Structure 1
Amino acid sequence: MLSRTLPALCLALLLCAPASRAYATSSDGEVVAVDQESRRVLVLETAEELMDYQGPDRPPVVWSWGADRAPDLGDLGPAHSWTNPDEAKSRILEDRRYLLTTASGGLAAVVDTATGRSRWAVDLGEAVNPHSIELLPDGNVAVAASGGGWVRLYAASQGPRVTAHATFRLPGAHGVYWDERTGLLWALGDGELTGLRVGGTPAEPALGAVRSAPLPDRGGHDLAPVLGAPGRFWVSTLNGLWQFDPAADGFTPVRLADPAAEQDVKSIGDDPGTGRLLTVAPDHRGPCDWCTSVIRLHRPEGTWTLGGTQLYKARWWATW
């Protein structure tokens, strides 16, 4: 087993990378992690570089972003709305790269990685607990909120603070993903995976369910594409990991070398270049019961331990 421990990251990483330093370079093999301790989204070096990391002179963070010091988000009260960031994805729209992120405190944002400024951002309120976000080809933004029990499609293409939206009720909504192949917005809830058809106009969007598959286990949490098998999705539930094939309308269990690593997974994904899996699950050892400082690798097995962090999710920093 490969294993490395990264020392406490320079005052919880705040001094290692500027709040919104331009980042628009190639990112093959890099990893993005959501750290609730430093209240930042961190882009980490490639897997090979992380394995060679000896620290502390060369920190593993190549780019980071946090709402607390974002000059264009002061009106959204990030001191409260950016509490417990819980999602990070990479998307390309109109030849620009964006970070998609949410926080349990209520913030949902689409951030230009070249400038660190938001294309769209709103405070949805902590009661709804935003948990995932997606950027559609027309510039609109979907958000899944577990506390609210809904998926909303916001008319974000119409302006940086637009809150007009369409709503689909989904108890325990935790994941959302736009799939070009099926032309559907897929949403993951406590008990089902639902395919939503997007209608209306960019200014007045509409959502309607056209497909639904009951989950093989309760507590749906993460939804992501299988990059090594386009058309399939990774799905995590409370007690297991699965691949969903829309063509077959069925779930296949995913088995790891350590069966315990299949439980309570907050995020899962595969590196399209190597096929290696990356997962994050809470270790219940620190002050944050739903966090960890460990990123686990599978096929082959390995771990990265980032001292001083409280990670909620991590993904390959790939533009799905």
Structure 2
Amino acid sequence: MKRSISAIALAAALLMPQSAGADSNAWVAVTDGVSDKIKVYDPVVYNWNTLPAQRWEWKPNAAAGYSSAEIAAWDGAADVKLRDSGFWGGQVMATVSGAGLATVAAYPGGKELWSVVQGGTGTVNLHSIEVLPTGDVATVGSVEGKVRLYGVSHGIATPITYDLPDAHGVHWDDTRDVLWAVGKFTLVGLHVNYVNGVPEFSEFRKVPIPLTNGEIPYGHDVWPVYGNTDRLWIAVNWRVWQYDIAQNSWDDSYVGASVLHDSGQMVKSVGNVPSGQIVYTFPKTGWVTDTVSFTNPTATRPVTGAQIYKARPWIPGYDGTSGTAQDNLALKSSPSSSSTYESSTWGRAKAVDGQSGSVAGSYGFSSGVGKTTNHTEWFATGFTSPQAFNTVVIYPRSDSGYVGAGFPIDFKIQVWNGSAWLDRVTVTGYPQPGNAPQTFSLGTTDWSTAIRIYATKIPKVGPTDYLMQFAEVEVLNQ
């Protein structure tokens, strides 16, 4: 279920003291065995025991569409991932429980989209899940020792399997179209092919995990190294490797390796956010901890009384991005502004509705009428979770007689970093455009929950009013 966080609580979050090592460019999801919930936290908030730190939470229930048998097969999550899914028509959350439930749910709404009960800890012991771009779903179970693939895209209920002793982790490599899975001794890459409408596995690669001090590796986790599509994080007993796919080699000398290799740290989950900061968990009692750890730079986020198994960067793309290059993120955003003129033709929402021209019923956005001198206006649009983007496209007003009218003259395009607006584009003296889209590169790829167009000089539209107007805003990662 989605937790509603009030504007007061959000404001409080932005005033919370920040750790020197906190990275604000990606939220972190944890699997908590006390509440049996998946909880998503904002690392920029120092105290994770406060409501402002928590951005979302979920567990299966009847209101979300789950049956009593499915709810009974849930005793907390063994893994969780956020994915962009064209098959499901938006972002989804995929999760598994050792008690047997594997499920895909809409994010952030939490409604059930697909589920199966595979068996409990004694027969399967589910450890990880992945949603493929096709909509198919892969799972791994340590007791069963198999990779399962459900042909969801073809309506196939019976999974195909691949034997992998003590299978613990699974990840889709979108660069190579390979499903990676890690087990007790082995890392394996599998192609998924459909033959006469039936899925089949074929091996892309099968490599032994290096031994550490002669010990059995017990591969536990596989996750992409964001920023390098040739590398995977592979967590095993007493060591965290980076596997170089292109070189077919293992590296334990990367930046941060010495911290992850400290004696006694049997890392259960590992990954990094786009900035390079590493997020990981290692058990304090049994298989769980009450703290999420960070390095490069170092920070910790304890949650009093929690039993955290894994912590995941809450990033929807397989390689650390959000969606494909041309996805218009603004279509799934919530707009706001300093003022607005709302009518059957104008409105905030009409600037993010996908209609790039000014047409009947959707002329676009206009600031409030009645101001007869120049003044400041802003238009912002926010996302439910951090998104990667580097380009903003503003479509001018295009209705007859008013082409380009209301386009700001002096303005900035800004991104939200969790506590302040950062300038990315500064423009002065911008001429009134025609009806062609105006494209602005931010100069870097940002990971943020909001963008803002902040204008300090706007034109007069008509005989008296000074207005900021445009037909549409797009936010892209190109």
Show the counterpart of 2:179: 185
C-alpha distance in 2, partners of 1:282/1:93? Answer: 32
SS at match of 2:29: strand
C-alpha distance in 2, partners of 1:261/1:141? Answer: 36
C-alpha distance in 2, partners of 1:83/1:169? Answer: 26
Show the counterpart of 1:93: 85
Quick check: 1:293 aligned with 2:287? no
Shift of the 59–215 alpha-carbon distance from structure 1 to 2, 3 Å rule, reads: same
Quick check: 1:156 aligned with 2:137? no
Count of residue correspondences: 287
SS at match of 1:77: helix
C-alpha distance in 1, partners of 2:180/2:249? Answer: 14
Shift of the 259–235 alpha-carbon distance from structure 1 to 2, 3 Å rule, reads: closer
| Aligned AA (1:220) | G
| Aligned AA (2:243) | F
Aligned pairs for 1:232-251 within 5 A = 232-251=231-250
Quick check: 1:42 aligned with 2:34? no
Q: For residue 301 of structure 1, report the CA deviation from its aligned partner.
A: 1.3
C-alpha distance in 2, partners of 1:112/1:202? Answer: 30
Which structure would you say has the larger RCO, counting Cα contacts within 8 Å and 6 or more residues apart? 1
Show the counterpart of 1:5: none
Q: 1:267 aligns with which of 269, 276, 279?
A: 269
For the 8 Å contact 2:39–2:57, the answer to whether it is kept is yes
Post-superposition CA distance 1:4-62 (Å, at most 9, x none)? xxxxxxxxxxxxxxx24599xxx9411111111101111112x22x22x4864x44211
Post-superposition CA distance 1:207-238 (Å, at most 9, x none)? 12231110013100010000022221000001
Q: TM (normalized to structure 1)?
A: 0.84
| Aligned AA (1:185) | L
SS at match of 1:89: strand
For the 8 Å contact 1:172–1:189, the answer to whether it is kept is yes
Q: 1:304 aligns with which of 281, 301, 305?
A: 301
C-alpha distance in 2, partners of 1:202/1:111? Answer: 29
Percent of matched pairs sharing the same residue: 33
Greater shift in the superposed pair: 188-197 or 93-102: 93-102
Show the counterpart of 1:62: 55
Segments of structure 1 that go 5 or more residues without pairing to the other structure are: 1-18
Shift of the 290–202 alpha-carbon distance from structure 1 to 2, 3 Å rule, reads: farther
Greater shift in the superposed pair: 255-264 or 222-231: 255-264
Q: CA RMSD in A?
A: 2.2
Show the counterpart of 2:200: 206
For the 8 Å contact 1:234–1:241, the answer to whether it is kept is yes
For the 8 Å contact 2:98–2:125, the answer to whether it is kept is yes
SS at match of 2:289: coil
Shift of the 231–176 alpha-carbon distance from structure 1 to 2, 3 Å rule, reads: same
Q: 2:141 aligns with which of 136, 142, 145?
A: 145
C-alpha distance in 1, partners of 2:171/2:118? Answer: 19
Greater shift in the superposed pair: 111-120 or 185-194: 111-120
Shift of the 146–305 alpha-carbon distance from structure 1 to 2, 3 Å rule, reads: same
Q: For residue 68 of structure 1, report the CA deviation from its aligned partner.
A: 4.0
C-alpha distance in 2, partners of 1:290/1:202? Answer: 43
Show the counterpart of 1:276: 277
Shift of the 54–93 alpha-carbon distance from structure 1 to 2, 3 Å rule, reads: closer
Shift of the 22–305 alpha-carbon distance from structure 1 to 2, 3 Å rule, reads: closer
| Aligned AA (2:111) | R
C-alpha distance in 2, partners of 1:144/1:299? Answer: 30
Q: For residue 182 of structure 1, report the CA deviation from its aligned partner.
A: 1.7
Post-superposition CA distance 1:262-310 (Å, at most 9, x none)? 83111101111x21001001102xxxx1111100110111111001211
C-alpha distance in 1, partners of 2:70/2:32? Answer: 19
SS at match of 1:78: helix
For the 8 Å contact 1:30–1:44, the answer to whether it is kept is yes
Quick check: 1:129 aligned with 2:130? no
SS at match of 2:153: helix
| Aligned AA (2:240) | L
| Aligned AA (1:44) | Y
Q: For residue 75 of structure 1, report the CA deviation from its aligned partner.
A: 4.4
Q: For residue 203 of structure 1, report the CA deviation from its aligned partner.
A: 5.2
| Aligned AA (1:290) | W
C-alpha distance in 1, partners of 2:219/2:83? Answer: 23
Show the counterpart of 2:311: 314
For the 8 Å contact 2:70–2:101, the answer to whether it is kept is no
C-alpha distance in 1, partners of 2:307/2:288? Answer: 5
Q: TM (normalized to structure 2)?
A: 0.57
Shift of the 124–271 alpha-carbon distance from structure 1 to 2, 3 Å rule, reads: same
C-alpha distance in 2, partners of 1:191/1:69? Answer: 40
C-alpha distance in 2, partners of 1:31/1:281? Answer: 15
Q: For residue 141 of structure 1, report the CA deviation from its aligned partner.
A: 0.4
Aligned pairs for 1:12-51 within 5 A = 19-20=1-2, 28-45=25-42, 47-48=43-44, 50-51=45-46
| Aligned AA (2:126) | P
